[in-house]
Amino acid sequence: MTTILEKTYTPDEIAKIFKISKNTVYELIKRGELNAFKIGNKMRIEERELVRFKEGGKRSSSSHTGNLTQTDHSLHIAGSHDFLIEQLIKYVTGQSGAITIQPTFVGSLEGLMMLYKGNCDVAAMHLLDPTSKEYNLPFIKQLFIHERITVMRLAEREQGLITAKGNPKQIFHVKDLTNKDIRFVNRQKGAGTRFLLDSLLADENIDPADITGYEVEEWNHLATASYISGGIADATFGIRSAANKLDLHFIPIAKEKFDLVFRWTSKNEKAIEFLIDILQLTNFKESISRAEGYDGTELGQLLYETKNWRKTK
């Protein structure tokens, strides 16, 4: 898989670079003149965006824009952190610049709640319902009744245990996390990965209190994997691609469904249509097929849409 990590800056660092106040940086972000994304409650700006802003660059338009206007070209996606989401954002920007996507990585549950409250346009999620063992739809169907919602498959991905290269502590199953010499690092509450891990622990009648480090939380896969590469922890639960990026050992445990949930409004309709076209009609799917730990066979498949959304005004 092609590495897509990029240096990022905090608003404070941007303020120092341009010798302006931090409040001015936030105002630029609010006006859409400087694109930023969130990891948890922390705002970050990518280096390529800093360069574009410094050079006074404008996003180009093309024949792919259709009837998109300056008022409906932006989408806010919130939810689970995944390298495919980062890759999709770069792909969309590279395609034409017709739309921009602002990400907020806050975990699957929080992203879905943001969508429910109307605070974003798209939710990225992989929430396992412990009762039905079905992904995503049980939660979606409970929350959205009168809104127009479309659910699309992005990919299936591998989740498992991540350890140091060579697996020196001989960790093979979630039961091994209770060994007294194992230091664990967890994902935050509301993350789909945390949902899956807790379901696995419940299936094995494992008390989380017996896992050293269960209460230690990080906000994305790369952060937890970094604990392992830095020797701070011995194991975490995460995706294969995070282990591969840091040359760590991966023990596959489960395959999960990672979906995108679109909430349609009169303001975002054209932008969502454009994004769906990219997912279904372009060669973006090829990038998933080359990514280790992902299966893009069902990419673009429509899984669900609310039936009675037209009844509302």
User: Which residue has better confidence, 246 or 71?
Assistant: 246
pLDDT number for residue 29: 82
pLDDT number for residue 61: 35
Query: Structure tokens of 164?
Result: 């140091």
Q: Average pLDDT of 148-157?
A: 97
User: Which residue has better confidence, 162 or 53?
Assistant: 162
Q: Where are the alpha helices (DSSP H) in 39-179?
A: 47-54, 83-95, 108-116, 137-143
CATH 1.10.1660 fits 1-58, yes or no: yes
Longest dimension (CA), the chain: 61
Statement: residue 312 has pLDDT above 90: no
Cβ 239 vs Cβ 293: under 8 Å: yes
Q: Is 253 exposed, middle or buried (0-12, 13-18, 19+ CB in 10 A)?
A: middle
Q: How far apart are CA 155 and CA 258, in angstroms?
A: 5
- The model's pTM: 0.80
pLDDT digits (tens, 9 = 90+) for 49-99: 888 877 764 443 333 334 444 445 789 999 999 999 999 998 888 775 678
How much of the chain exceeds pLDDT 70, in percent? 89
How much of the chain exceeds pLDDT 90, in percent? 67
pLDDT digits (tens, 9 = 90+) for 259-305: 999 999 999 999 999 999 999 988 898 888 888 999 999 999 999 99
pLDDT number for residue 3: 42
3-state class of 21 per DSSP? coil
pLDDT digits (tens, 9 = 90+) for 15-46: 888 878 777 787 778 767 788 887 766 788 98
